[in-house]
Structure 1
């Protein structure tokens, strides 16, 4: 019991309180690395063999190593900050797209059934709207919709003489037979 009470009395509560914030921990960790390095270096120099002292290049190498470690720590912190800023920017950009139509590159059209409570026969099949972009004028544009096996389900001929622009199309999921 005497050992436990002496351990309890020796706890330093000020250190526990100051370590609560992550910034203090990070800064303290960086300072600890440098302090430990300098303590180790001084101890090494004090205890070296007087007939074979530490060479200048050894000392320079050790000093360069601690500088490299500190540089890597700063680089990691900077990259972390940039990543956080990019994530925030992406969230803001995404929020601007709510309610807007967005076209992404692809070569597939998804089909799904819309559950229609008023339908008496079958549910309506709906295709994903798609679009295409012309970077130059086109005399004739033909869209071929194929199944997984590569068989042409439908051929759609667009209007003649389309100008450079982005065009949207909604397929009614019918094939060439209707």
Structure 2
């Protein structure tokens, strides 16, 4: 798959929504100023506006103005942060990574996960499901303590060869006493694209999607 970066008009929509909110605040601000000016012009000289009330209205005036300025600054900070995150994510293209996750791609009859049980498990039931959540294969085996690789050749429980695609693993493990053993799962692959349409960049490993925050290790960049 050719490497690439995908994006949509989500950032534009967000900017438009922010602009609309700012315009609404500005409109309220202008309306408040107009009302205050009219009130001052038409007040009874023999019974002028209460000082406390006038002060409260000025505080409201200052609050609206401050809110407008704060919104503009926050928008600028968020835009800069997202741009920085996107620029950082593009550097992952062509890199091999390991990330927390249960989903990986089966390609040409090969898929693998890295399993790390909290301690040795005398029995671990490993379940593999397709993209629709259908269970396609199960296996029971013991897991030693520490990091290890679990490879799947794509064969289903019924003996058929599964089609290439995205598959998820689930591990239910117990130790010799029958107590549950937590098993961390990781996936690895080469980044060939970036999806920037969401709030966080997503790395694309073929059909596998990895949030940038899930990346644990980065390998050397592959030569072309």
TM range (shorter): 0.5 to 0.7
* C-alpha distance in 1 between matches for 2:151 and 2:89: 24
* 1:153 matched residue in structure 2: 138
* 2:124 matched residue in structure 1: 142
Aligned residues: 129
Give the TM-score, by structure 1 length. 0.53
* C-alpha distance in 1 between matches for 2:60 and 2:36: 12
* C-alpha distance in 2 between matches for 1:104 and 1:140: 24
Q: Which has the larger radius of gyration?
A: 1
Aligned pairs for 1:121-140 (under 5 A) are 124-127=108-111, 129-134=112-117, 136-138=118-120, 140=122
Question: How far did residue 79 of structure 1 move?
Answer: 1.7
**Are the equivalent residues in 2 in contact too, given 1:144–1:153 (CA < 8 A)?**
yes
Could you tell me which runs of 5 or more consecutive residues in structure 1 were left unpaired when the two chains were aligned.
Answer: 1-25, 115-123
Cα gap change, 1:82 to 1:170, in 2 (>3 Å): farther
**Are the equivalent residues in 1 in contact too, given 2:136–2:156 (CA < 8 A)?**
no
Deviations 1:100-147 (A, max 9, x none): 2242333x5665xx5xxxxxxxxx4454x322344x443657351245
Cα gap change, 1:42 to 1:151, in 2 (>3 Å): closer
Query: Is 1:172 the equivalent of 2:153?
Result: yes
Give the TM-score, by structure 2 length. 0.44
Aligned pairs for 1:21-170 (under 5 A) are 37=33, 41-98=36-93, 99-106=95-102, 111=106, 124-127=108-111, 129-134=112-117, 136-138=118-120, 140=122, 142=124, 144-147=126-129, 148=133, 153-158=138-143, 160=144, 162-163=145-146, 165=147, 167-170=148-151
* C-alpha distance in 2 between matches for 1:171 and 1:152: 9
* 1:17 matched residue in structure 2: none
Q: Which has the higher strand share?
A: 2
**Are the equivalent residues in 2 in contact too, given 1:103–1:130 (CA < 8 A)?**
no
Larger relative contact order, structure 1 or 2 (CA cutoff 8 Å, min sep 6): 2
Q: Which has the higher helix share?
A: 1
* C-alpha distance in 2 between matches for 1:109 and 1:91: 23
* 2:191 matched residue in structure 1: none
Task: Tell me the C-alpha RMSD between the 2 structures.
Answer: 3.6
**Are the equivalent residues in 2 in contact too, given 1:126–1:172 (CA < 8 A)?**
yes
